[in-house]
């Protein structure tokens, strides 16, 4: 990789391929010659319709106008996820994207809340979070008085087309065709070119594998290996179906647990995305399909799409001169809507570590180390939802409740239960607020709090908690109905 523009070949389109193409062309277009090869005959999974707030940072990086994006992808706004039946059947809790209460340098808000609860005057934990209350009241706004931390529900197919238009306007060349084989240098093993079924050959210096779970380059060609996590995350199949919208879109995703997994509901402007995730060892495909179709509202717009998967990651995300992104790099079930985010962090990481001339092993090792850490920490947060359950109504939930979990997660659960803290690592995706809401929601309640909160008088603590809750209620009063806001926002262009 020396002299002239670096030739980047992206294998596969879909959300992953076009995110990579859009970001690389916008940030480094003058240095790169980017070709993306995809076939219209090969479908994409395309069900990753819920996102998380860092997407907005990525959009700013690549210069995307948010209003244009929302309109183009039939998007709605998302303030969090409502979890039903996870702790016990019939119980609900909410993982919002907001900050709950006020933090101090020494200790976190939960310690003040625990003391207030002990004294009998604290409200529910969520009452101190604007995003939580706004979601349940179906409110949303982009006004400056009450700044909400939000993400989106979107049409993944439309999103890929939206990004494609941006990437092509920045010089990315799209080639239609199926990849027949990948050629390698006989000495180094580096990829040299892709050969299409048509016979056309695409030479490159750096290859990005966005070919989905099959990993055409990273696995089938380079034999990178795969680390499976099915013993911690036993679900291995999903079925997705789209339905007509029969009610105004809610500003949150629903995740409803069942006897062998969970199902999702994602409201867009014009339709609803529905799906069921389950363990095939505990539920048949037929049972799952019946359960999904009996739970939906509105007419179905698509045939149920069955997706089988292995949870885990490639042993290396970057191998030789190939970088895997999206499902080619690994799979974590969509419980916390992290799939699109992880594509964005992968391409951002590549831009930050982009090789100047030849590929140095230290750079590859750093990329892989960061990718591994990201995967494992998100994995642990998802495992938490399964492990911290009180359900005893099926073999699936008993297995989850009793299973051994990674040591770091075990420590986090114990630390939170003993002292209301969750150790954070720099750059970690899910913040303390997220861990706290899910821990409490799943029934992990601290047995003690920081002694410093006892330095505050009962009257002062009562006043503090009341003022925070009152501020939340006041801010909500200034928000619009979510559905009305979306209609006005998309109609004002």
Judge whether residue 3 has pLDDT over 70. Answer: no
| Residues recorded for the chain | 493
Nearest partner of 177 among 152, 214, 144, 202, judged by Cα: 202
Reported as a single tens digit per residue, the pLDDT across 300-317 is: 999 999 999 999 999 999
pLDDT tens for each residue of 346-360? 999 999 999 988 999
Q: Is the pLDDT assigned to residue 286 strictly greater than 90?
A: yes
Sequence-distant (6+) residues with CB within 8 A of 55 are 151, 152, 340, 341, 344
Domain ranges of the chain: 6-49+155-230+314-359, 101-147+380-480, 237-308
DSSP state of 260: T
Give the C-alpha separation, 316 to 325, whole Å: 11
Nearest to 382 by CA among 102, 81, 141, 160: 81
292 burial (CB, 10 Å; 0-12 / 13-18 / 19+) is: buried
**Model pLDDT, residue 105:** 64
Q: Which CATH class is domain 6-49+155-230+314-359?
A: alpha beta
- Binned at pLDDT 50, 70 and 90, residue 432 comes out as confident
User: Which residues, listed in sequence order, are joined to residue 255 by a DSSP beta bridge?
Assistant: 83, 264
- What number is the average pLDDT over the span 439-461? 94
Q: Which residues contact 162 (CB under 8 A, 6 or more apart)?
A: 69, 72, 73
Q: pTM score, two decimals?
A: 0.95
According to DSSP, the residues that pair with 233 across neighbouring strands are: none
Residue 11 has φ and ψ, to the nearest 5°, of -95, 110
The pLDDT, as a whole number, for residue 223 is: 98
The reported pLDDT for the residue numbered 472 is 95
Q: Are 257 and 310 in contact (CB under 8 A)?
A: no
Q: At what angle do helices 458-477 and 109-119 cross, to 10 degrees?
A: 110
Lowest-confidence pick of 58-72, 144-158, 327-341: 144-158
Which residues fall within 8 angstroms of residue 436, CB to CB, at 6 or more apart?
Answer: 100, 108, 110, 125, 416, 422
pLDDT at 102: 81
Q: Report whether 205 contacts 270 (CB < 8 A).
A: no
Please give the Cα distance from 351 to 340 (Å, whole number). 17
Tell me how many helices (H) and strands (E) the chain has.
14, 23
Range 176-193 average pLDDT = 96
Find out whether 188 and 37 touch, Cβ atoms under 8 Å. Answer: no
Please give the C-alpha separations between residue 84 and each of 64, 265, 273, 315, in angstroms, as whole numbers. Answer: 34, 12, 17, 34
| pLDDT on residue 1 | 47
């Amino acid at each position: 990789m020396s002299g002239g523009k670096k030739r980047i070949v992206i294998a596969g389109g879909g959300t992953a391929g076009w995110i990579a193409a859009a970001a690389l062309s916008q940030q480094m277009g003058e240095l790169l010659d980017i070709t993306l090869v995809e076939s219209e005959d090969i479908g994409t999974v395309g069900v990753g319709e819920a996102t998380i707030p860092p997407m907005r940072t990525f959009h700013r990086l690549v210069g995307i106008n948010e209003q244009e994006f929302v309109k183009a992808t039939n998007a709605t706004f998302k303030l969090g996820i409502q979890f039903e039946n996870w702790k016990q059947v019939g119980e609900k809790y909410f993982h919002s994207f907001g900050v709950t209460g006020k933090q101090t340098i020494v200790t976190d808000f939960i310690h003040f809340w625990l003391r207030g609860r002990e004294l009998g005057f604290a409200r529910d934990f969520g009452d101190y979070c604007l995003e939580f209350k706004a979601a349940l009241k179906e409110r949303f706004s982009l006004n400056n008085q009450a700044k909400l931390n939000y993400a989106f529900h979107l049409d993944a197919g439309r999103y890929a087309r939206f990004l494609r238009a941006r990437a092509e306007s920045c010089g990315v060349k799209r080639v239609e065709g199926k990849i027949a084989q990948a050629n390698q240098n006989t000495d180094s093993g580096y990829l040299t070119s892709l050969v299409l079924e048509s016979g056309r050959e695409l030479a490159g210096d750096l290859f990005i594998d966005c070919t989905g779970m099959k990993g055409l380059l990273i696995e089938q060609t380079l034999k990178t290996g795969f680390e499976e996590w099915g013993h911690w995350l036993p679900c291995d199949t999903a079925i997705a179906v789209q339905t007509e919208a029969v009610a105004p879109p809610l500003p949150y995703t629903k995740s409803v647990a069942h006897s062998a997994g969970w199902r999702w509901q994602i409201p867009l402007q014009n339709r609803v995305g529905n799906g069921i995730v389950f363990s095939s060892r505990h539920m048949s495909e037929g049972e799952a399909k019946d359960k999904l179709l009996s739970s939906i509202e509105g007419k179905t717009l698509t045939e149920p799409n069955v997706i089988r998967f292995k949870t885990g990651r490639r042993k290396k995300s970057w191998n030789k001169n190939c970088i895997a992104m999206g499902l080619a790099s690994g799979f974590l079930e969509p419980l916390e809507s992290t799939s699109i985010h992880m594509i964005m962090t992968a391409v951002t990481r590549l831009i930050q570590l982009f090789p100047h001339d030849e590929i140095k092993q230290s750079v590859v090792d750093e990329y892989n180390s960061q990718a591994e850490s990201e995967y494992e920490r998100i994995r642990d947060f998802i495992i938490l939802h399964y492990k911290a359950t009180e359900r005893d109504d099926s073999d699936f939930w008993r297995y989850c409740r009793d299973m051994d979990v990674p040591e770091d997660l075990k420590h986090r659960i114990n630390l939170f239960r003993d002292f209301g803290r969750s150790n954070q690592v720099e750059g970690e995706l899910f913040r303390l607020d997220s861990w706290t809401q899910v821990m409490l929601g799943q029934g992990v309640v601290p047995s003690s709090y920081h002694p410093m909160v006892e330095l505050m008088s009962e009257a002062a603590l009562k006043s503090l908690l009341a003022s925070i809750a009152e501020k939340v209620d006041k801010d909500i009063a200034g928000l619009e109905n979510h559905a009305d806001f979306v209609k006005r926002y998309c109609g004002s262009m």
